[in-house]
Amino acid sequence: MDIMELGAIGELVGGVAVIATLIYLAVQVRQNALETRVASSQALTDSINQVNLVVSADPGRASITRRGREDYSSLNDDERTCFDHELYSLCHIWETILRREILGIADPETTNSARKTAREFFVGFPGVRAWWAQNRFAFNAEFTALVDEWIGNRPPEGA
């Protein structure tokens, strides 16, 4: 074998090594992206669970939630503050899920589940709709438009 043949073999081996490295990196990037999505979905689930635990751990708190969902105006000032913070927390979580969907980085199953839950929450509870009418200003335009569509609201003038 002369030097030219050895050079050709070396180039072939180098080319195969580059292709193998690129395949390895592609697999690693895909796996990392999946792990990141799973971790993000878990973090969002954990956030919702924290809200649920606060409500379920205290019968008095659960009563505020139940009554607030049915009739927001029935709550006194302290109860309204508790209910407000519960709904701000849930809505900001749902807003984050929607934002991730818009950016194309959301897990579709998490997004679909959250959309169904949020929609039923707004459609099914008159107290939540009353709360939304007073607090919709606190959320981004995409989330506000989606909730308004669900409940058939027209945005107030100038909003």
Q: What is the predicted pLDDT for the residue at 154?
A: 56
Contact 45, 97 (CB under 8 A): no
Tokens 């954990």 belong to: 46
Q: Please give the Cα distance from 21 to 35 (Å, whole number).
A: 21
- Amino acid making up residue 43: A
What pLDDT is attached to residue 157?
A: 46
Q: From residue 20, how far is each of 6, 33, 66, 90, 138 by CA, in Å?
A: 21, 20, 59, 46, 50
DSSP 106: S
Which DSSP symbol is given to 139?
S
Q: Residues 96-147: pLDDT tens digits?
A: 999 888 888 888 888 888 899 999 999 999 999 999 999 999 999 999 999 9
CA 76, chain centre distance (Å): 31
Band of the pLDDT at 159, cuts 50, 70, 90? very low
Q: Return the structure tokens found at 21.
A: 């490295």
CA dist 68 and 132 (Å) reads 12
Helix axes 77-103, 3-56, angle to 10 degrees: 160
**pLDDT by residue (tens digit) across 49-94?**
888 788 888 899 999 999 999 999 999 999 999 999 999 999 999 9
Residue 115 zone, left/alpha/beta (φ > 0; ψ -120 to 50; rest):
alpha
